Structure 1
Amino acid sequence: MEQTITPPLEWIHTICDQFTEITGWTLRFMSAKPGEQKSQEAELSEVEKYCWYESIEDGNRCLGYLYLTLPEEADQDRLFVTTTKFAELIAGLISKIETLNTSLELKNKEVSTLMDVGLSSSKQSGLQDALQKLLEAALQLTGLRSAGFFLLNSESNQLSLRVQYNLTPFEIPFHQRILSESPPDLEAFSKEGIVISSQETPQLTHWLPEGCLTGVCVSVQSDSGPFGTLWAFDRRSRRLNDRDIHVLKSIGAQVGTILERAVLIKESQNQLRLKKELKVISESFPAELVRDPSQNREFQAAVHTISHHEVGGDLCEFITLSPHVTCFALGDASGDSIPAAVVMASVRGALRTLTEGPLEEAKDTRFVISRINNALYHTSLPHQFMSMLYGVIDTQNRTFTYTNAGHPAPFWAHKGKITSLTSHGMLLGVTDTNDYDYSVIPICTNDIIVGFSDGISEAMSSERKMFRSDGIMKVLENHTADTAEEVMQGIWSKLQKHLEGGNDGDDRTLMVIKFARDLE
């Protein structure tokens, strides 16, 4: 069935015809003509044939006039009072209906505009485009002519114009402004909004673009904090109502949502980038080199190292100095994650530089430790330091020389006896004048050296008990005949059992060296 759509105001003429048929008095409707309303009203009040008229309003403007003309039959004159009261009732009802229609159309327009804004904002690939769309919607819904958004830098407390609509940036005054020096913006954060009028607040009109007589400022905020202020301007002198402020606050809330989403996306991108970079960094410290059979060393070495974060501050590295001489470094940088990794990387670089020099200097453990200490002291912050054990294995002379700078003392299993090796000085990077000592121990076949970071000895169980060095010694006592790999696995298994349900919040490194070949 085809639907008939009644043209706007056509229904009023239909009502007039029905009124005329029922009462015998002619009721007509005259549409208001822009700019001619005074002349129309003068005609209705001065011409004798018009005996009554009433304006029809829609809440915002005059739509036209209902008017009565004298009936042709004189006996109808006696019904004049009744007829005019009836006509007044009809006029009032029509005005109420048109006011409701206008209000409904306005709300439909608001909903439609906000839906369009929501859909377009979610599809916008660019933040600038999404904000432009919101400013455009603010003007459509309020009837204002131009708008701008100022972004707040919370660190500098400065507002900067970032987006504008129907104005160039330089037409808006103070497009870089300090929040504390801008009364309208400050007031917008403490109230629903502030309206600036050339008539009512002339002292604030210098905040309006040239030629504008009205302006309004509302805050843009979210749960995470303030983002800035939203301004709208008009060249006309307008009295803004609560609805206009509410609309601008709603648009400001959407601006805040979009900015918050943009911040989250940016943070997510930064986290993804950081994760990739950390992966690259972590891959540049391959502790697994000690298991590489291509090294063809004259001893066995097994290492297990884990970081609590993507990267950590534990160092374990073996470097071949000559066919029968190998050095290694076992260290633990202060802190965790990236700060610790930076310290560890600095020490690792210094270690590589020093071991590439003359062989005698690389074999001098006291010299190497002192040089690394001096370098770290002058390149790191006061709270950054590192413990380190630097050892040199000489399989030809059957000696192990080492210097321990504040690192947990390693164990030496020698001829059925387990000994804790001596330490020689302070942590690296604490002072620049440390005089380190060194020790030399003899190497025999099947001797074992076990080194570890404090993440092993201080590993906390669910009962708040540390693993301690005793946990290492108990395993070592029963595995002296095993390979380096078997010893390492035995200690690590006992550690994992100790940690069940406990704290796992530190980097951990375990190193086992066994002189398994006949050194004769």
Structure 2
Amino acid sequence: MEQVLTAQPLDWIHGLCDQFTEITGWPLHFTPAKPGERKSLEAELCQNAKYCWYESIEDGKRTLGYLYLTLPYETANDHMFVTAIKLAELVGGLISKIETMGSSLELKNREVTTLMDVGLSVTRQEGLQDALQKLLEAALQLTGFRAAGFFLLNSESNQLSLRVQYCLHTFEIPFHRRKLKESPPDLEAFAHDALIVNRHENPELAKWLPGGCLTGVCVSVQSETGPFGTLWAFDRRARHLNERDVHILKSIGAQVSTILERAVLLKESQNQLRLKKELKVISESFPVELAQERDWDREFQAAVQSISHHEVGGDLCEFIPLSPHVTCFALGDASGDSIPAAVVMASVRGALRTLTEGPIEQARDTQHVISRINTALYHTSLPHQFMSMLYGVIDTRARTFTYTNAGHPAPFWVHKGKITTLTSHGMLLGVTESNDYDYSVIPICKNDIIVGFSDGISEAMSSERKMFRSDGIMKVLENHIEDTADEVMRGIWSKLQQHLEGGNDGDDRTLMVVKFAPNPE
């Protein structure tokens, strides 16, 4: 299928498809769709037998293109047909979610920029109520009306409430609390910006005018983000309004909208400050923990470096002592980033702590722990939320390392000077309710090293659009085999920072190094 170029920066989707293809062996492709081409593209994907599966990618407003699977290059991968489709559906849903959020954020940024420019031209008042009072007073002075009021719309209940009035008491204005759907003049104003009500010419609407008033004008107050309410002006005379009067009232309505938007932005800014402080507190409750009790006979070194792209992230790395000679650790990476990823990570962390506080035999059973965490995450997370995880148990007396890898990047093992990649054992956590996970047991000798990492390390992108990959870790590791765990970790991290200089730094990153040698005094 011929590629169709659009103005959308969708190159990252092609990169994701390449990674999917490399991991599963099933070719995943993405074709952008220009306006007017959707039907022809969908028809081709539906009718051509070479396409096994397809799904549209949306950004909340339009179709950006189509994700589709073709037959694998090798028939040995045919048995993964169902799994490949499920994973492709998951990937497609995540891509659409990301693009929708990006589109929404871009629109919001444009709106905020425009509102800030408008806000600079509005005279500052000490309070919102005073500012609205001044605007109503100005409306009467410029148009000659005798009274005015502003009704604020509650978007949740669709009810209008009189919030500010000028030259009239609240009880003098009829229906000062009314349902929008039950108020034809307000609905008409929202539909056509303004409505003129004359008691004699529109007797069916006369009940919305205060007693003794013959003329009223209802003007909508709204912005690009939605309606705020309606502005009413009343007069005891039977007036025939000209375009100038209506235009002035619309201008006043626009200024009311600007003031309200600024008040909303101020509140949002305060909420963002509060949220930032709360996120800092949350981030401090998720430290990278190492078992460092000096009186434990622990014949290995451990070094960890972990950073989050946002205030909180989804990477997990914890060491938990089970007995004087047995320590378990977990290295994981939750889907997404920031708060959603942190929520998934916190759920897994809680399950991990609960399972490792039980009988030591269960905590040592890596299959059991991973399976229980998978089931717990499946029942407590959303369908698009999942996590990769490596769970291992170090026994320094038996000189063994037992582990189960659930979809996490395969760690390296340095054994007697030779570097190998450890085995993976199953699907990501939380994808399905039950999975059959395997485990591996390897012997550990003095000076053996295990290096684990999240995909934020291996997929770190340079300014030249090249990933660090696991090869980058291995090259550094080859030159640090005789070093301590901390020296190995700092060597890899330093090389990673050089690779990233001027490149993309948009992911959580965790690097863990374990060396089976006594801790230096």
Fold match by TM threshold 0.5? yes
What are the superposed Cα offsets for residues 43-65 of structure 1, whole Å, 9 maximum, x if unpaired? xxxxxxxxxxxxxxxxxxxxxxx
Q: Which moved more, 1:289-298 or 1:401-410?
A: 289-298
Aligned to 1:329: 330
- Could you tell me how far 1:370 is from its partner in structure 2? 1.2
Unaligned runs of 5+ in 2: 1-119
**Using a 3 Å threshold, how does the CA distance of structure 1 residues 295 and 460 change in structure 2: closer, same or farther?**
farther
Per the normalisation by structure 2, the TM-score is 0.71
Aligned to 1:257: 258
Q: What is the CA–CA distance in structure 1 between the aligned matches of 2:454 and 2:431, rounded to whole Å?
A: 19
Query: What's the secondary structure of 1:122's corresponding residue?
Result: coil
Aligned to 1:78: none
Q: Which amino acid aligns with 1:384?
A: Q
Query: What's the secondary structure of 1:147's corresponding residue?
Result: strand
CA contact (8 A) 2:315 2:454 kept: yes
Q: What is the CA–CA distance in structure 1 between the aligned matches of 2:166 and 2:180, rounded to whole Å?
A: 22
**Using a 3 Å threshold, how does the CA distance of structure 1 residues 119 and 302 change in structure 2: closer, same or farther?**
closer
- Could you tell me how far 1:144 is from its partner in structure 2? 3.0
- Could you tell me how far 1:421 is from its partner in structure 2? 1.0
Match of 1:122 among 107, 121, 124: 124
Equivalences for residues 313-462 of structure 1 within 5 A: 313-462=314-463
Query: What's the secondary structure of 2:260's corresponding residue?
Result: helix
- Could you tell me how far 1:318 is from its partner in structure 2? 0.8
Equivalences for residues 60-209 of structure 1 within 5 A: 122-125=124-127, 127-153=128-154, 158-169=159-170, 171-177=172-178, 179=180, 182-189=183-190, 193-209=194-210
Q: Which moved more, 1:145-154 or 1:349-358?
A: 145-154
Q: What is the CA–CA distance in structure 1 between the aligned matches of 2:130 and 2:319, rounded to whole Å?
A: 56
Q: What is the CA–CA distance in structure 2 between the aligned matches of 1:449 and 1:491, rounded to whole Å?
A: 13
Unaligned runs of 5+ in 1: 1-117
**Using a 3 Å threshold, how does the CA distance of structure 1 residues 161 and 338 change in structure 2: closer, same or farther?**
same
Q: Which amino acid aligns with 2:321?
A: T
- Could you tell me how far 1:441 is from its partner in structure 2? 1.2
Q: What is the CA–CA distance in structure 2 between the aligned matches of 1:384 and 1:390, rounded to whole Å?
A: 19
CA contact (8 A) 2:332 2:454 kept: yes
What are the superposed Cα offsets for residues 165-201 of structure 1, whole Å, 9 maximum, x if unpaired? 3445454334445556644334434656332122333
Aligned to 2:37: none
Q: What is the CA–CA distance in structure 2 between the aligned matches of 1:483 and 1:202, rounded to whole Å?
A: 90
**Using a 3 Å threshold, how does the CA distance of structure 1 residues 307 and 192 change in structure 2: closer, same or farther?**
closer
Aligned to 2:221: 220
Coordinate RMSD, CA, aligned: 2.7
- Could you tell me how far 1:119 is from its partner in structure 2? 12
Equivalences for residues 240-319 of structure 1 within 5 A: 240-287=241-288, 289-290=289-290, 297-319=298-320
Q: What is the CA–CA distance in structure 2 between the aligned matches of 1:335 and 1:471, rounded to whole Å?
A: 24
What are the superposed Cα offsets for residues 196-240 of structure 1, whole Å, 9 maximum, x if unpaired? 122333332122123322211122244655432200123343444
Q: Which moved more, 1:449-458 or 1:209-218?
A: 209-218
Q: Which amino acid aligns with 2:415?
A: H
Q: What is the CA–CA distance in structure 2 between the aligned matches of 1:407 and 1:308, rounded to whole Å?
A: 19
Q: Which amino acid aligns with 2:304?
A: V
**Using a 3 Å threshold, how does the CA distance of structure 1 residues 324 and 183 change in structure 2: closer, same or farther?**
same
Q: Which structure has the greater CA radius of gyration?
A: 1
**Using a 3 Å threshold, how does the CA distance of structure 1 residues 262 and 167 change in structure 2: closer, same or farther?**
same
Query: What's the secondary structure of 1:317's corresponding residue?
Result: strand
**Using a 3 Å threshold, how does the CA distance of structure 1 residues 381 and 268 change in structure 2: closer, same or farther?**
same
Q: What is the CA–CA distance in structure 2 between the aligned matches of 1:411 and 1:257, rounded to whole Å?
A: 58
Q: Which amino acid aligns with 2:153?
A: L
What are the superposed Cα offsets for residues 51-82 of structure 1, whole Å, 9 maximum, x if unpaired? xxxxxxxxxxxxxxxxxxxxxxxxxxxxxxxx
**Using a 3 Å threshold, how does the CA distance of structure 1 residues 120 and 372 change in structure 2: closer, same or farther?**
closer
Per the normalisation by structure 1, the TM-score is 0.71
**Using a 3 Å threshold, how does the CA distance of structure 1 residues 197 and 518 change in structure 2: closer, same or farther?**
closer
What are the superposed Cα offsets for residues 230-254 of structure 1, whole Å, 9 maximum, x if unpaired? 0012334344444443443332232
Q: Which moved more, 1:324-333 or 1:128-137?
A: 128-137
CA contact (8 A) 1:365 1:391 kept: yes
Q: What is the CA–CA distance in structure 1 between the aligned matches of 2:290 and 2:420, rounded to whole Å?
A: 24
Q: Which moved more, 1:268-277 or 1:128-137?
A: 128-137
Report % sequence identity: 81
What are the superposed Cα offsets for residues 489-519 of structure 1, whole Å, 9 maximum, x if unpaired? 1111221222222222211111000112299
The size of the alignment, in residue pairs, is: 400
CA contact (8 A) 1:448 1:514 kept: yes
Aligned to 2:67: none
